[in-house]
Chains A and B, each alone.
Chain A
Amino acid sequence: MLAALVQAGGSFSRPSVDWHAASPELILLGVGVLITVIDVVWKQRARSLVVGLSSVGLLAALVPVVTLAVDGTPRSMFGGAFVVDDYALIMKAIFLLSAYVVVLMSTNYIAEGDYWENEYYSMLLTSVLGMLLMTSARDLISIFVALELLSIPAYMLATWRKRDLKSNEAGLKYYLMGVFASAIMLYGMSLLYGSAGTTLLTGINKAVSATDKPTAVVTLGVVFVLIGFAFKVSAVPFHTWAPDTYEGAPTPVTAFLSVASKAAGFVGLMNILFVGLIGRSDVYQPLIWILAAASMIVGNTVALRQTNIVRMLAYSSIAHAGYMLAPLAVVSADVVFAGGGSVVVADQALRATVTYLAIYAAANLGAFAVVIAVARKIRTAEIDGYQGLFRYAPGLTVLMTIFLFSLAGIPPLGGWFGKFRVLEALISPGTAWGSTLALLVVVNSVVALYYYGRVAVKMWVEEVPDGDMTPVRVPVSLAAALGLTAVATLAFGVGPGLIGHFTEVSLLAGIGG
């Protein structure tokens, strides 16, 4: 019997590996392993090294991303399950840079928190590794593996403050909901696999679009997969974990979850949608429309009532998930002829969401960085604690204002361009559904401005409640995180061509659409 196995194994031929294309992941993996080894060998002495090492690792992984982008040819491995194209590269860059900013934000927070640091960073890197894989995954299995790889460390990161009850609650809720979502998604994937006979997304697209009307199995499969991702991106009604998790988790982890983890959910969703299911727009369009509309409306209205800034940002991030989902609700395989010229609606929607993700990442990370900085002094995340911030921390106030109003979409700060692209994608097909969703985006932006604006008023107008005017001491690494995100937010707003150039991506090439 053993002999038979060996014989069968003998027919295995090693797939060719494009080492250049895989190098961002490999570098990150190497650094992650290195950190673990150093941790085991040097114990306490390793503490001073890990932060630097993980920063260097993240930036080093960015180098092959750039060289691959310069090279420009799309690469594909493992029978099309792992693809490196412009879309994957821009998303990899966003993940690496966001993670770098998160490391900068974590440095002092974790070091002063009296917890073991080394595992924190190795888990962070593992999660980022999962995200990098996700950008290239074009196969149900690789998507699922990537999703688990990025989620499991995130569950543990959420409980990082293990002696804090809220942090435990955060992690547990996140874990239970996440596992539940994974199970549903996996079931959906199995249905899709069952009807298509392949796990490759391109193959699935061929199989599901073969019929005029969707079969029941395909419909169920699509619905379940969508629900799974809706949990991940915290879209209403699958958002309930987000506020509690965000509030309880250590703030840098919250920033990481609300930006990188959410973006990874979107990347997975877009991969499946654009490559695997685009022919079945009759099934997913109404679903995503409802998810988008509900997320915007519920997220924004509930955010109005929050008194804790982290919970407010949590609900606002739910609303932002709605804005980012919105363009996907008009995606279809058709090319629409708007006024004589053809508009590839699907491409436009993809670009809108990618652009929005990039700009949102900068502003949201920045906002959380300010929350961390301010919490160093006021020791609370209550919005009332921000009263009179301008009197003793004018710099932080200006930065927070920039980030909040960018999230609100006020020009000349970055957010406006993201909103613009979303609206553009919604209007371009010229359908009533698209236009209605566009109108909802507009109304919701105004609602959102109210709660962002209220925080601004508190910071600028009110007096300091306890009269304590000692300035906030901002450590160097946190200041660097603030600087990077603020510059990005302003640059995206004034020269949107900058980000627009990199987000001119398409996923349709894979299916010949």
Chain B
Amino acid sequence: MTDFLNTWGLTAVIFVPLIGAAVMMLIPEREEETHKLIALLTSLLTLGFVAALMIEFDYGDAGTMQFVQDKGWIDVINSRYILGLDGISIPLLALTVLIVPSVIVYSWHHIPHPGNAKAFLILNLILETGMVGTFLAQDLILFFLFFEVVLLPMFFMIAVWGGEDRRYASLKFFLYTLFGSALMLLGFLALFFLAKDPVTGAALHTFDMRALTASAGSGIVHSTQLWIFAAMFIGFGVKVPIFPFHTWLPDAHTQAPTQGSVILAAVLLKLGTYGFLRIAIPILPGAATTWAPWIGLVAVIGIIYGGLACLAQTDMKRLIAFSSVAHMGFVMLAIATMTPFGFNAAIYGMVAHGLITGMLFFVAGSVKERFHTLDIKRLGGLLISVPKLGWILGIVTMASLGLPGLAGFWGEFPAILAAYNPANGLSPSIFRTFMVIAALGTVLAAGYLLWLYQRVGMGEPSEEFAADPGITDVNTREWLAWTPLLALIVVFGFLPGLIFNVTDPAVVQILDNCLQNADGCTAVAQSALGRG
């Protein structure tokens, strides 16, 4: 088993969902139960593989890539099939393979209109392949491919199973993301041609992320670096989404079916921030240092803008969507500090946001299913009409606003703290200003989330739903789907070390790497040593 995991483990995790999807394609559509069963078993098998990998993983050495697989793929462009797992990927990989089975369990009785469980679940599994692949790929082209594979299934999930405005929302999502990723591809190509070996000075001509990280932009003129970074910035930034590229998100979230929203919020947004941590910053640390204040600026704009927009929303789902813009702002602010502390906070924030906002969308979906509306004005008194659902919503909103003892706290608080002391070479006064603004953002978050809960959870249930027999409390399927997420929100709230200990070595490794390369990133490296 260990041998298998070492050589083919990561490939298995990526392609098991795809094999499951292929099997389902051969089974006729009317066998709905079979489809659900196969999808669930496939996603659980994937989860099992990841669990096995996490057991085998050498946590003492979390900074190095493990279970590496390196095979020839597209020789003519020097692109290889390289996979690897390190401390940065592990939490995100685990998050992904946990969310997908939850979504499938939730789908058991909740296939959105117009039905067709077969196609819906197949899309879920293809999505899983794309997401998992993105977190494991160590070759830029392979990364790009997986990054894009998620587009089509998500497009269809919104376009076919979405709400009223699904045509507009799905195309908007698709166009924005494609624009970003096409620019990103240009950046990758420029890296391919320009990156040089730091020791010999010879051109690398490779897409191998490990080699490019090792070269850390040496040999590329700083102004060119800035352009390449800008291309990747837009590519990843659209996905995160960073203000001002965020406008696709509220539409996509509002129109997507519950399952789509959950996956979108929990995992897809993380592909962008992961790209910053894994590719943009380690490969071009020099340019990243120059861009960092600007990233910090758009991050805090996102925090404040997202918060204000939330206050103005009348639709619960749209409110949660805008809160994502604000929360991802915290993650981006943490990344912009370029410190190990900030990076750790960013990864924590990503996982916490994934669990919490995923849960919020689940709850919103269940509310919509029972009350057939998400209009905050019409809802109310959930604690009376559906007390368990009301309590769950309460816990999750508290987690989302960063209450200590729940996971959200450890994403938000360290992010703000990291901005107090950014890496050497970055102006502390600018980042401390950002810190103050971000802190104000948490107040806003408390404001809109508490207000949401007050209007939806408390008060008397509205008369129009009084006699509706369809309004029942949380059912078994929902408990099955939600319990793991809720448990983790609490566990990570009390034991933040569970994630920090895994990510820290990898984060330090990334920032340390710059030490070997004098080019423009000494400042970053020094500060990494200082606090790493």
Interface residues of A (CB under 8 A from B): 338-341, 343, 351, 390, 405, 408, 410-412, 416-417, 420-421, 423-424, 427-428, 430, 438-439, 442-443, 445-446, 449-450, 453-454, 456-457, 460-461, 495-497, 500-501, 503-504
Contacts and interface: CB of A to CB of B under 8 A. Distances in A.
A461 B160 contact: yes
A309 to B, nearest CB: 17
Contact of A457 (B141, B159, B203): B159
B178 A446 contact: yes
B190 A427 contact: yes
Contacts of B145: 411-412, 416
Contact of A405 (B73, B144, B152, B193): B152
A218 B172 CA distance: 49
B77 interface: yes
B167 interface: yes
Contacts of A503: 76
Contacts of B185: 420, 423, 442
Nearest to B167: A457
Interface stretch (B82-90, B194-202, B264-272, B440-448): B194-202
A338 B204 CA distance: 11
29 contacts: A339-B194, A339-B195, A340-B203, A341-B203, A343-B193, A405-B152, A408-B178, A410-B148, A420-B141, A424-B192, A427-B190, A430-B193, A430-B194, A438-B186, A439-B186, A442-B183, A443-B179, A445-B178, A453-B155, A453-B171, A456-B155, A456-B159, A457-B170, A460-B159, A460-B160, A461-B160, A496-B74, A497-B75, A503-B76
Interface in B46-98: 72-77
Contacts of B77: 420-421, 424, 496, 500
A417 B148 CA distance: 13
B189 interface: yes
A206 B148 CA distance: 46
Do most interface residues of chain B lie in helix, strand or loop, or is the interface mixed?
helix
B200 to A, nearest CB: 9
Contacts of B110: none
A340 B159 contact: no
B308 interface: no
Nearest to B145: A411
A457 B194 CA distance: 40
A339 B178 contact: no
Nearest to B148: A411
Contacts of B203: 338-341
Contacts of A497: 72-76
B213 to A, nearest CB: 17
A412 B193 CA distance: 24
Given A339-B194, A430-B193, A412 B175 contact: no
Contacts of A438: 186, 189
B234 to A, nearest CB: 10
Nearest to A446: B179
Contacts of A427: 186, 189-190, 193
B166 interface: yes
B193 A339 contact: yes
B205 interface: yes
B174 interface: yes
A127 B189 CA distance: 39
Contacts of B151: 410
B508 to A, nearest CB: 30
Nearest to B196: A339
Given A339-B194, A457-B167, A460-B159, A412 B149 contact: yes
Nearest to B72: A497
Nearest to B180: A446
